[in-house]
Amino acid sequence: MDTEEARALAQAFDPNHLSAGFYENPYETYAALRTFEPVHRCPDGTLFLSRFADLDEIYRDRAHFSSDKQAVFGPKFGPGSPLYEHHTRSLVFNDPPYHTRVRRQIVGALSPNALRALQPGVTELVDRLLGQLQERQRFDLIEDFAAAIPVEVIGNLLRVPRADRGPLRGWSIAILGALETELTAEERARGNAAVTEFTAYLRGLIAERRSHPLGETDLLTRLLQEAELSESELLQNCVFLLNAGHETTTNLIGNGLSLLLNHPESAQRLRSDPQLIGTAIEECLRLESPNQLGNRLVTSRVTIHGVTLEPNTYLTLCIGAANRDAQEFPDPERFDITRKPNRHLAFAAGAHACAGMGVARLEAQIALLRTLQRLPRLRLSGGATRARRARFRGFVSLPAEA
Ligand code: HEM
């Protein structure tokens, strides 16, 4: 693509009308936006930002930017709808003091000790799944592996009885899917039904936990101790927690396996030097960020790249673009499992930075390393299918053979 084509691509960019090719590979468009339209005005009046330095600053600046989404989700979901209730009450789409109160309990339950305690269970689960793959020889790395891990881990964190976990993934995909830039009536209906069913289920679980609290290490027990939370706030934060760690982590594992299997020399290096797993996972997070888009609302006037952002302007922060910005990452398109430093924004930054990043890292490190070690002949067998999603980047299917 020459300079004029890239400029035209950036100027015409409309996140509400994306092509099939964009879902397959958005990075050419993101590069054009970073270069020619770092603060791009979309046809609907919102702004789309793509440079690392801008996102890093905005994520850390609470004086000018808010996470509150009521003004945007009212028209999108309909005030009073289950999706509106859910997405406006969870901590991630709120500001202090409410956000601070809920976050304190979550961070408290996910301490380094709590993470260490998760490790043997995750290793056992991953090994069991890999044993099944070995027996089958041909399988889907998403359905039969990546998707099976987060549901167990997050289910264990909230101590959801194993027999109840079946619908969790479907609910999660329907609810988070409703955050996509383009939303059909059917997707909206599916999202609303999922919130209704999910909260109905959680009411029973919460009543049970209230009568039998499980102590300081249990996430749900801790949230129940937060006396100022209304029943609805409690329910919606539990739904959010069960969702937040789900599709994102499945996608990290799936994207990571795809990257490594498409770069056999890196996979081989990791097999012979397992110490590299930490930097390797950070590089997977950077290059194929599972959560590609974030949002903020401007609360007071501020200027970026000569563009004045007026109060009430809605911003989309493109993590997927920022994480390939050459101003921050030398040779940014290269997959380098030893990259250091690697200050990517895959978990965002600042006060809302992902509270579950330790859990996600733990799962991905164990899953990817054990897979490479236990399946030395693992290879993709073609037919990989990407999800048609701009916000949550991952595969629906990743067929492989051992
Ligand atoms: C690879 C996996 C994951 C990715 C890429 C990811 C990404 C993110 C991002 C970008 C945010 C910030 C959203 C914003 O402010 O706009 C966030 C927030 C959050 N994430 Fe994650 N996440 C992952 C896994 C998890 C897991 C496993 C959990 C729970 C165990 C979790 C819990 C949360 C919570 C509670 C917040 C809200 C934090 C706050 O608002 O203060 N996430 N995540």
Q: pLDDT of 76-95, one tens digit each?
A: 999 999 999 999 999 999 99
Give this prediction's pTM: 0.96
Q: Is 394 near ligand 1, meaning CB less than 6 Å away?
A: no
- Segment 91-113 shows an average pLDDT of 92
Closest CA to 371 of 290, 256, 273: 256
Residue 228: per-residue pLDDT: 80
In the chain, the N- to C-terminal Cα span, in Å, equals 38
Percent over 70 (pLDDT), the chain: 100
* Helix axes of 247-262 and 148-157: crossing angle, nearest 10 degrees: 140
CB atoms within 10 A of CB 233: 19
% of the chain surpassing 90 pLDDT: 87
Q: How far is CA 271 from CA 127, 140, 277, 298, 372, in A?
A: 16, 22, 9, 46, 6
Q: Tokens standing for 172?
A: 């999660």
The per-residue pLDDT of the chain, averaged, comes to 95
Assess whether the C-beta atom of 249 lies below 6 angstroms from ligand 1. yes
Q: State how far the Cα of 146 lies from the Cα of 381, in Å rounded to an integer.
A: 17
Quick one: which atom of ligand 1 is closest to the CA of 294? 16
Checking DSSP bridges between strand 47-49 and strand 314-318, what pairing results, if any? parallel
Query: Taking a C-beta distance cutoff of 8 angstroms, is the pair 336, 68 a contact?
Result: no
User: Is the alpha carbon torsion for 36, 40, 41, 44 positive or negative?
Assistant: positive
Exposure of 401 by Cβ count < 10 A (0-12 exposed, 13-18 middle, 19+ buried)? middle
* pLDDT over 90 at 282, yes or no: yes
Ligand 1 center to residue 352 CA distance, Å?
A: 8
pLDDT at 40 over 90: yes
Q: Count H helices, E strands: the chain? A: 18, 12
pLDDT band, very low/low/confident/very high, at 370 (cuts 50, 70, 90): very high
For residue 128, give the DSSP letter: H
Q: SS3 for 209?
A: helix
Task: Give nearest CA residue, ligand 1 atom 17.
Answer: 354
User: What Å distances lie between residue 72 and 79, 98, 231, 333, 374, CA to CA?
Assistant: 10, 19, 24, 34, 47
Ligand 1 and 155: CB distance under 6 A: no
Taking the CA of residue 353 as reference, the ligand 1 atom at the shortest distance is 12
The phi-psi region of residue 308 (left if phi > 0; otherwise alpha if psi is between -120 and 50; otherwise beta) is beta
pLDDT tier for residue 196 given thresholds of 50, 70 and 90:
very high
- Ligand 1 close to Cβ of residue 102 (< 6 A): no
Question: What atom in ligand 1 is closest to the CA of residue 359?
Answer: 27
Say yes or no: CB of residue 129 within 6 Å of ligand 1: no
What is the C-alpha to C-alpha distance for residues 222 and 219, in angstroms, rounded to an integer? 5
- Nearest ligand 1 atom to alpha carbon 91: 40
CA atoms of 377 and 177, how far apart (whole Å)? 35
CB 384 less than 6 A from any atom of ligand 1: no
Amino acid type, 257? L
Could you read off the pLDDT of 309-320 as tens digits, one per residue? 999 999 999 999
Ligand 1 neighbourhood includes 91 CB (under 6 angstroms): yes
Each residue of 373-399: pLDDT tens digit? 999 999 999 999 999 999 999 999 999
Tokens of 384: 């990989």
The whole-angstrom separation of Cα 257 and Cα 368 is 7
Residue with tokens 């789409």, as numbered in its chain? 93
Residue pair 343/68 in contact by the 8 Å Cβ criterion: no
Q: Whose CA is nearest to atom 22 of ligand 1?
A: 354
Mutate to test the pocket of ligand 1, among 122, 240, 253, 354 (most ligand atoms within 8 A of CB): 354
Cα 107 to chain center, whole Å?
Answer: 17
Give the model's pLDDT for residue 223. 87
pLDDT confidence of residue 330? 98
pLDDT of residue 34: 98
252 CB less than 6 Å from ligand 1? yes
Q: Nearest C-alpha to atom 41 of ligand 1 is from which residue?
A: 352
**pLDDT (0 to 100) of residue 216:** 79
Ligand 1 and 153: CB distance under 6 A: no
pLDDT digits (tens, 9 = 90+) for 204-253: 999 999 999 998 778 899 888 876 888 899 999 999 998 898 899 999 99
Q: Which residue is it, tokens 């409690």?
A: 234
Kindly tell me the burial class for residue 51, based on how many C-beta atoms sit within 10 Å of its own C-beta (0-12, 13-18, 19 or more): buried
What pLDDT, on a 0 to 100 scale, did the predictor assign at position 366?
98
Short-list 271, 265, 255, 274, CA closest to 389: 255
Q: Does the beta carbon of 360 sit less than 6 angstroms from any atom of ligand 1?
A: yes
pLDDT in tens, 147-194: 999 999 999 988 999 999 999 989 999 999 899 888 899 999 999 999
Which pLDDT value is given to residue 218? 85
Does the CB atom of residue 355 touch ligand 1 within 6 A?
yes
Whose Cα sits closest to atom 16 in ligand 1? 294
Residue 38 Cα to ligand 1 midpoint, Å, equals: 25
Ligand 1 touching residue 354 (CB < 6 A): yes
